[in-house]
Each structure stands twice: as C-alpha cells, then as structure tokens.
Structure 1
C-alpha cells in the first residue's frame, strides 16, 4: 500500500457491502458518554436506530426516550424482559463491574451485545461474559471504536503490507483529566472495585488494544509502574479491593519477534492522546488518536520522505455502531469480539500484578496464542 492508497483507505469503509435493513438498539446505561456520544452516533448511522433506553433514573430515561422516540425502561424492567420487541441488540454502557449482569440479560433474551470496554472489571468476569454469549449463541462485540476508525483500519493494512518494514516498537499515551468534569471525585471511575482499576482500565486500554489491532499480535509479557494521590487512592494491599485505583500508570509490553510497546495512561495532567509505531523502514504517528470524534493528524515517515495528513477518516463511534449492525445484518462475526475484550482485561490484570510486585509478568493471551 502506497501513501495515496493509505489516504484513500482512510476515507472509506473497507467492510461495507450495503446490506438492506437496520438494527434497533437498546442502550443500557445513560451516562454522559451514552447520551452525548453513543446515541447521536447510532442515530447518525446508516444501519442503526434507537429502540429503547435503560436507566436507574426514571426521569432521565423518560426524558431521553421522549427526545428520541424510544421506549424507556428501568433496570428491573430490562432484566424482566419487558419491551424486547422494541430492540434487536443491546449496547451496554454501565460501569464495568455491572457489564456481566446486563450481558447475561441480553443473552437470555437472545439479543446480540455490543459492550463498552473494558469488557468487565476482572478477567474472571470477562471470561464469564464471553461464555454467556457463546452458550446462548448470540454475538458479542467489545466496543473498541478505534478498530472501526477508517484511519486506524487503513494503518493496520499499511503495517501488514510492509509500509514501515518490520514493526519494532509502539509508543502511546492517553491522558484524561477525569476530575475536570462536573462530577469531580464523585464518580464510578474512581471506585477501583466498580471500575476494576483506574487510568489503565479506563483510558490505557486504548493504546493497548489499538496497538494489538495494528500489529495483529498479542503481548507475551508486561512490566508496569503505577502511582496515585488523593482522591484516587492506590490500594494494592487492601484484600477487600485488590484492584488498583491508579492515577498514573506506565506499562511496557513485549510482543513476539521482539516487538516492544511502551504506554502511559493518566487521570490527571494536560490532556493528550497519541500513538506511534516504528518499523525498520519507517514510522507513523497519530495525534489526537483516541478522542471521540477527534480529527486525526497523521504523520508518516519512510525512506521516501515525510508526509503530514489531516482531515482524514470519519466519526469512529458512528462507524462502530454501523459496523456492528452490518455484522448482524450480514451474519459476519465482528473483529473486536468478546475474546478480544477478554484478552485486554487479562493483559491489564497482568500489568497491575507487575506494578504491585515490581516483576515482569508473562501473559497467557500471548503465550497460548489466543
């Protein structure tokens, strides 16, 4: 793939076969992201529509449902199977440790599931989520929106076709000042038990998963360092809450054939998100890499020269929901499936172990070739 082909691919859908029909979604959890990013993306797409919304707050559910001509449900009504005719698939956007219960409900109702990342708060619960959907015979996709981003998809092809030679290392950062929002410290992201961790689970998963996708490879070992100040509260020694509530984390990954990754994630500091992949014959860097709907800035350097590109791609959240609906309409398994989400939770659990012990930790996902 030459640079012109890369530009063309970064502005197109390589998966779209123009199927007939639409998929109606039930959105479970009506936090800020679901209301202001996900629901508009569903409605802006070609293959999706909003059928129902589920919330523990009656007024919020009613208000959102009325604004979007959808059915309003409580969590109890959702669990009891009310109004299942209003939707074909379920999008889960609740706090991480609640994902499994909502996935079980969808699987019991024979509804396909797209679940926000991370798939669950622990590897054991993520594995149970995968098994629940496999047993029920329903599709499970982990909501890795970057895998639907046309720029990232084009770069994955560029890497696989030798655009930068043999990859040697990947570098990335995602800093999200989580206290800057209206909720301050009163939010579930700062509850390590509910979230499964801190910055790593919420934003560090982006450079991790995107790198795995770009390389088409799984980590075989990790190292890590983490720290936190109040109100984050790093608690690795608390037996009642073994998860970290990391404010900052720096982790190193080792991939097969000697490829290494070096990533940071933070819940405080100046906001930033970028990813760089280096190879034997070139490199590329994506600025504003993980911001929802952000305009990607891409720099590619090879033996032929240096090129800076901007204005590429599309709203990756809209692409994500259309891609999932396309998979359901065409009977195609999604690429970021439940196993993809499980592997990341396993890797992040290993990073926390490495940060707590100060030792390199082997990762089963890469070691057993899953």
Structure 2
C-alpha cells in the first residue's frame, strides 16, 4: 500500500467520532425497542447490548406473544403499543428505537417526542415525504434529538472511503456505481403476507426497502445532494403485485457527477459500491448487508490494494454512535433534515418511473 493510502487507511476501524471513554460509562442510554421483527431481534438488540453506551430496557410489538417471549428471554419490560404511546413505562427508558413498518413510524415518534425522549428511527424515515416532514417536525417542535438509522454512515469502511474522497486521493469523482439485491421471499421470509408487499405500509418495495442504501451512501460519501433523477421500476411476479420488484435510478450531482444504482428484491444476493475518480477508484464489495463482511479495495495507477481489516458489527457501531452522542451532548449527522433528502429523492424516482421523464430536484 502506498504512503498516501496508508495515511488514511491505517487504524481502519477507528471511531473518529468518539470523544468519550467507553470504559467510564456508568449509566448508558436506556432504549425502548419498538417493533420486534427479525432485524430487531437478531441484530438491533444484540447491537444495543454490545455497545458500551446503550442498553435495552423495554420492548414493544403489535404481537403480544412476540413481546412476551423477547422480554422474557432478555429480562426486559414488555409493553403493548398503546401502553408505550401512553407513557405508562416512560421512566424506564431515555430513548426510543423505532423499527416498525415505514408508515407506522410517525405515531411512535410523535409519542416519544411528547414524552421528551430521544429517537432513533429506522430508514426510510416514513412512507411518504409528507409524513416524513410531520415526523421531523414533531421532534423539532418538542426539542428532542432525532437520528435516522443509516448504519452505513457509522461503518468504518464507508467512513474510510469518504476520507479518501475528502482528501482527494482518488482525484475528482467522475461517477458512482452501486447495486443491492436479494431474494426477499427466500432469504428473509417465505411469508407473502408481509408489510413490505403492502404499499400502504411500505410506500414501495425494492426502492423503499433497499434502494435507500445506495442513495444515502452516495449522498454521504460525496457530501452532496442530487439535482435531478431518472428512474425505472419493474414488477414481473404476482407476489410483488402493487409494489416494485426491481428498480434502477440515475442521480445527477453538482459538477456532473452521476450515480447509477440498481436494486432488486428478487435477484441473486449481491451488494457493491464503487466510486471512480480521475486518479483512482474505491470499491466496497460486499457493501451493504449487515450479515456479511465488507470488502474494501482501492485501485490507483494500475495497482489494486485490498485492505484486510477487523469487521465491525454494524448495528453495534450505529447504537454506539447514537448513545455516545446523546451522552456527550453532540448533534447527529444523519438527522431528520438529512433523512428528508432521501424521502424527497425516493419520491422523485417513483415520479420519474411513472412519467418516464427526468425529475428536477429543488431545495
């Protein structure tokens, strides 16, 4: 590895955002976990437990049996949604993590804001831009911190890639290529009666569920906002009737930088993110899934350097960042206003797919 790269890639997994000593944390942020789907059970709850800055104290789900079993297994307080919204056990948590279907985020966040609790809300922040704006406004009006769950932003591989771009190591960025796909009704579930296939709950499927990863990661590493979009969606199988099974979109950024992205809920499992500049390119492959190790490579002058680094538990890093910033009194980067950028862009991509035309984005 050449010296220019080494300067930015040494100590690869460093937490460049950390100002507190995790060993000195006596009172971690207590979190109520709302929505106990597979991700919350298998990844979020373990991530909260692994972080020195957070601990789960309350769990809540619309299914009483799930709530009871998770609460019993982890020795937590389990409550029904109406109990959580009423504030019946509000003295048992400092913050609320919302991992329910997209179109149900707003009600839980409004309740948390009324209770004066900090919020970590999963992405996309809501099912429509209008509902997303109401959610962000609820936290702003109540004066409570809102972070949105873009876990790629706290993954060291993505942060080191951004470091390289910021330092000009890859030259001027020319374009970005990104892809993310899975067989949703195979890898995750065989249940066709699920919320991602209900447009009223999800707002869409391939684009809303996984299309947000290439979109937000591109915005983050470029530190820029798209000025126009062009998108297409496609649905071939009856199981996906009413939602998008596949989606592709092109984002145009200032200075003519373009990102070409494709996602699918019914294709071979894959995820890749590549940024190409005038002096080199950086590649994350695999890139986006929490359940697989990320790969990181840089190509400059015809030489490829693959970085071998200790993998991090993505949700642990995300919850550590959330808890750390609450304890340190520091603002989040992926806040509500940042999330509204995704909400509006996703909506514009759907508009483009329907009209067949490029859609200009305005502030």
TM-score (norm 1): 0.93
Which residue number corresponds to residue 341 of structure 1?
A: 339
Aligned counterparts of 2:37 and 2:238: Cα–Cα separation in 1: 21
- Superposition map of 1:123-162 within 5 A: 123-162=129-168
Asked if residue 100 in structure 1 is aligned to residue 100 in structure 2, the reply is: no
Deviation at 1:298, TM superposition (A): 1.2
What are the ranges of 5 or more consecutive residues in structure 1 without an aligned counterpart? 236-244
Which residue number corresponds to residue 29 of structure 1?
A: 35
* Residues 176, 203 of structure 1: 8 Å contact kept: no
2:170 to 138, 155, 164: 164
Deviation at 1:7, TM superposition (A): 2.7
Aligned counterparts of 1:100 and 1:279: Cα–Cα separation in 2: 40
Farther off after superposition, 97-106 or 66-75? 66-75
Which residue number corresponds to residue 240 of structure 1?
A: none
Which residue number corresponds to residue 216 of structure 1?
A: 223
Aligned counterparts of 2:42 and 2:311: Cα–Cα separation in 1: 20
Which residue number corresponds to residue 19 of structure 2?
A: 17
* Residues 293, 317 of structure 1: 8 Å contact kept: no
Aligned counterparts of 1:86 and 1:206: Cα–Cα separation in 2: 33
Asked if residue 56 in structure 1 is aligned to residue 62 in structure 2, the reply is: yes
Deviations 1:43-95 (A, max 9, x none): 01111101100111222112111221211010010111111111110000000
Aligned counterparts of 2:137 and 2:239: Cα–Cα separation in 1: 33
Deviation at 1:232, TM superposition (A): 4.5
- Superposition map of 1:273-284 within 5 A: 273-284=271-282
Runs of 4 or more above 4 Å deviation: 232-235
Deviation at 1:3, TM superposition (A): 1.9
Aligned counterparts of 1:9 and 1:198: Cα–Cα separation in 2: 38
Farther off after superposition, 107-116 or 8-17? 8-17
* Residues 11, 150 of structure 1: 8 Å contact kept: yes
Deviations 1:122-181 (A, max 9, x none): 000001111000000000011000000011111111101101001111010010211103
Change (3 A) 1:314 1:274: same
Which residue number corresponds to residue 242 of structure 1?
A: none
Deviation at 1:108, TM superposition (A): 0.5
Q: Per the alignment, in what secondary structure is the counterpart of residue 332 of structure 1?
A: coil
Aligned counterparts of 1:39 and 1:231: Cα–Cα separation in 2: 34
* Residues 22, 49 of structure 1: 8 Å contact kept: yes
Q: Per the alignment, in what secondary structure is the counterpart of residue 230 of structure 2?
A: strand
Deviation at 1:342, TM superposition (A): 1.1
Aligned counterparts of 1:199 and 1:339: Cα–Cα separation in 2: 23
What are the ranges of 5 or more consecutive residues in structure 2 without an aligned counterpart? none
The size of the alignment, in residue pairs, is 356
Deviation at 1:311, TM superposition (A): 3.4
Asked if residue 191 in structure 1 is aligned to residue 198 in structure 2, the reply is: yes
Change (3 A) 1:218 1:88: same
Q: Per the alignment, in what secondary structure is the counterpart of residue 33 of structure 1?
A: helix
TM-score (norm 2): 0.95
Aligned counterparts of 1:135 and 1:219: Cα–Cα separation in 2: 28
Deviations 1:337-356 (A, max 9, x none): 01111110100100000010
Deviation at 1:312, TM superposition (A): 4.0
Which residue number corresponds to residue 231 of structure 1?
A: 238
Q: Per the alignment, in what secondary structure is the counterpart of residue 270 of structure 1?
A: strand
Deviation at 1:18, TM superposition (A): 2.1
Which residue number corresponds to residue 308 of structure 2?
A: 310
